[in-house]
Structure formats: structure tokens, C-alpha cells
Amino acid sequence: MQRKLISILVDGVSADTFEAHAHRLPNMSRLAASGLRVRRLKSAVPATSVPGRATMLTGVGPEVHGVYGNHIFRGDIFMAPLAEDLRAPTLATHAKAAGLDVAAIGHALIALDDTSIYVPPWWLRSFVTGHRFGKMTTPEALAASRAIHDPEDRLARAGLTEMDWFRESVDDGAPHLLAGLALDQFLNRAVVALLGSDRPPDLLLTEIEMPDAFQHSLGYDSPTAIWSMQFADMLLGNVLAVLERNGRLGDYVIAIASDHGHGPVDTAIFPEAIIPDMHWMTEGASLYVSLKTPGDIDRATERLSPYGVELWNDLHLPEPLRGAVAMFVAPPRHSFEERATHAAAPLAATGRPRAISTHGFRPGSREDDRMFILSGIGVAQRTVDEANADQFAPTLARVLGLPQAPYAGRSLIED
């Protein structure tokens, strides 16, 4: 029997958080107890959202797939990457080529052409315009952030008829955290509708975003952050319930994983006070600086080092960019931030962070490790202490019976 697969990315759940609070996450714990559990899945470099997703989908590192940050440098501007920026095929690409029915419901970096049903991630609309050089966001990028592809109206036929509202609305003016919870729940309804329909997809990729946002705003391991993970677990419960109700739980393998971990931050470093004459982009506790002249890397290093900032190597960058962009990492419990536009105090090099928990720490930091669970038909119960980021995609490909050849890492399961 051809196994089907549901992959759910839960944003920002660290390995340590899941270890400490699994008892409050009954649905994730149920799957972990019955299948494969990876205690510590290592993160891509830097351990931020879009590179994490890119490596999870392609099974190769940023030096190959080309998405080395939440924003990538194009000429004189850092831009949010889209699916067309990937230089390697995704799991969805391979699945569609094999004739599988692929649905992407709110999952980033999936090409519309690789799906039968595509709903963009709700956060993409503000993400492509919300950074320092975002005023140059292209019309194509904005259009892609709203594109819904459902040529056979399968969502409407499954009972979800409010897609026009989702297409036009980001948050309806509601507070960010409240709006995000509502949008996560809306996409979960779309997932449940498809899984309960007369044509459930072979591969369904989706995301639950808000644990990351709650931690950034309210703190690592805070009661509200843990509650947001319980909310994500409730949404997973909706998925399990519809599969059980329709007699389809035995048809699917379910993957639950995060794109990166999280850790507390005490101090923000403000690059505009230290390197105001340079182009730069924050990546949590990592920082990219554009190098325009031969002396830029030395000047940036000299100015940043008094704050404990370390120059990192560029081996994770695509080869054509090496020497053109430099990555720096903050010391423990520090991050890089852009100063708020409404800030009234004089510009200073360091200060209180807005994001009191973050990720993208010095590569190899345990804070950036995340969880990975795989459960379902043919997946033996096993616990793996540690695995690499590039093993996620080949493991999911193995579930679907797809070739292993495109991937750098090895599958964690056998046929």
C-alpha cells in the first residue's frame, strides 16, 4: 500500500522545551511514543526560519539550495526569499513528479506548480515587506504571497468557503498574537477539510506559526509560550481526530518538526549604531553584512568585536557570494535588532531587546536544536538522540517511496 504523509512544521519548538513539557502536549507525545522520536534535530546555518524550512524541504544545506537567511542579498538590497529562489528541488517537487497528489496549506517555499492545492503562509505577506529594505519588494513577490491555487475547488467542496477572506486579510487590525492564532486555526480548518474530503492528498505540508511569535514577545519557556504550544497540540489533535473519524489514520504517516529552536535574550545589539554606513540584515542572534570594498570585513569586525560579536565563516553561503557577504554571531544571551522606528531615546549600541527570546545563535548552540517526531504505518518505535537537518527530507521521501539520490543526508528509517 502506498503510504501517505502529513508534515506539520510547528515554528520555534526547541528540543529542550519539548523535553521539559511533553506531558502538556498529549497529541505530540502520543505520536512520539508510537514512532520515531529525534530528541535533538540540528539546525541549518543560521538557525532562522526560512533557511530551516529550505533545508527541511530540500535535504541539502544553504550552500546548495541558496537560501542562507530570512533575507538574501540581491545587489544592494536584502530581500525575503520565495520558492523560486531555491536552487534545489523540494520534497513537493519530487512527489509531484512521481504522480502524487500534493497539497501545501500555509507552508513556505513550496512552488505552486508542485501542488494540486496551494494556500500561501499567512505570515508571508508582512514578511516580504516588513524589513529595512522592503520598500523594493517586487509586485511578483506580493502577488505570490496572496496566490491561492485550487483549480478544482476542492477546499470549497470540502466545506471551506471563506478563502476570499483569507486571501485579502492579514490580521483585520487585530493584535498580532491574537490574529496569528486565528490564522493558524483557519489553516488548520483547511487541513482538516481536505483530510476529511473524498480526495485526501497523498502529501500534505502545513505549518503552525505562533509558538515562535509568543516566545519572541513573551519569553522562552514562559507560561504563555508553553500555552501557545498546547494550542498547536490541539490543532494536531484536530488532524488526528478527522483521520480517526474517517478511518484514515492507518493510511498516513505524520511528521511533526520545528524549523529551529529558541533561547532567552538579555541584550540587543543595534548595528545601526555600530556600522551605520554599511548594509546589514539581522538574523536573530546572527547578522549579515554586505561587503562592498576590500576593507569592509575588517572594519565591520573591528567595530563589532568590542560587543563580543564574532565573525563566522562563509562556508554555508553559495560559492558566488563568498567574500561578498559576511556573517557575524552575537555572544550568549545577545541578539541583533533593528532599532524600533518610534524609539525616542538616543541611539545606543546595546539596549533592552524587543524579542526577549530568539534563535540563530552561534552555529552548534544547543538552544537552536529542535524536535522531530515521525509516526504511522511502517515506522518502528525508536528514539534517536541526535540527527542532522539534512536527514529530515530523505526520511520523509522514504515514507513516500521516493528516491534517496537527491539528498545529502541519510534517511532515519528503512523501507
Give the tens place of pLDDT for each residue, 321-352: 999 999 999 999 999 999 876 667 788 999 99
Q: Which amino acid is at 363?
A: P
Per CATH, the number for 4-263+365-400 is: 3.40.720.10
Q: What is the mean pLDDT of the chain?
A: 93
Provide the residue ranges of all domains of the chain, joining segments of one domain with +: 4-263+365-400, 266-354
413, exposed or middle or buried, with CB in 10 Å at 0-12, 13-18, 19+? middle
Count the alpha carbons within 13 Å of 10 in the hemisphere toward its beta carbon. Answer: 29
Confidence grade of residue 415 (pLDDT, cut at 50, 70, 90): confident
Lowest mean per-residue pLDDT among 150-154, 178-182, 203-207 = 178-182
Has residue 89 got a pLDDT over 60?
yes
Percent of the chain residues topping a pLDDT of 90: 82
**Rounded distance between C-alpha atoms, residue 82 and residue 78, angstroms:** 13
SS (H, E, C) 262-293: CEECCEEECHHHHCCCCCEEEECCEEEEECCC
Q: Report the C-alpha gap between 73 and 360 in whole angstroms.
A: 18
Task: Give the CA dihedral 21, 25, 27, 33, nearest 10 degrees.
Answer: 20
pTM, rounded to two decimals: 0.96
Q: Which has the closest alpha carbon to 204: 269, 265, 116?
A: 116
Per-residue pLDDT band at 171 (split at 50, 70, 90): low
Strand order, beta sheet including 267-269: 334-336, 267-269, 350-351
- What is residue 177's predicted lDDT score, i.e. its pLDDT? 92
pLDDT category of residue 135 using cuts at 50, 70 and 90 = very low
Q: Which residues contact 149 (CB under 8 A, 6 or more apart)?
A: 112, 115, 117, 118
For residue 285, what are the contacts with CB-CB under 8 A and spacing of at least 6?
265, 329, 330, 334, 335, 336, 358, 359, 360, 361, 362
Please state the length of the chain. Answer: 415
Condensed to tens digits (0 to 9), the pLDDT of residues 32-71 reads: 999 999 999 999 999 999 999 999 999 999 999 999 999 9
- 124, 159 Cβ separation under 8 angstroms: no
CA-to-CA separations, 89 to 116, 120, 132, in angstroms, rounded: 17, 18, 29
The sign of the CA dihedral 354, 123, 369, 233 is: positive
Predicted confidence at residue 296, as pLDDT, reads 97
Average pLDDT over residues 192-207: 98
172-176, 229-233, 271-275, 323-327: segment of lowest average pLDDT: 172-176
Cβ-count burial 117-127 (b if 16+ within 10 Å, e if not): bbbbbbbbbeb
pLDDT at 173 over 70: no
Please list, residue by residue across 360-386, b when 16 or more beta carbons sit within 10 angstroms of its beta carbon and e when fewer do.
bbbbebebbbbbbbbbbeebeeeeeee
Q: Which three cell numbers stand for residue 292?
A: 562592498
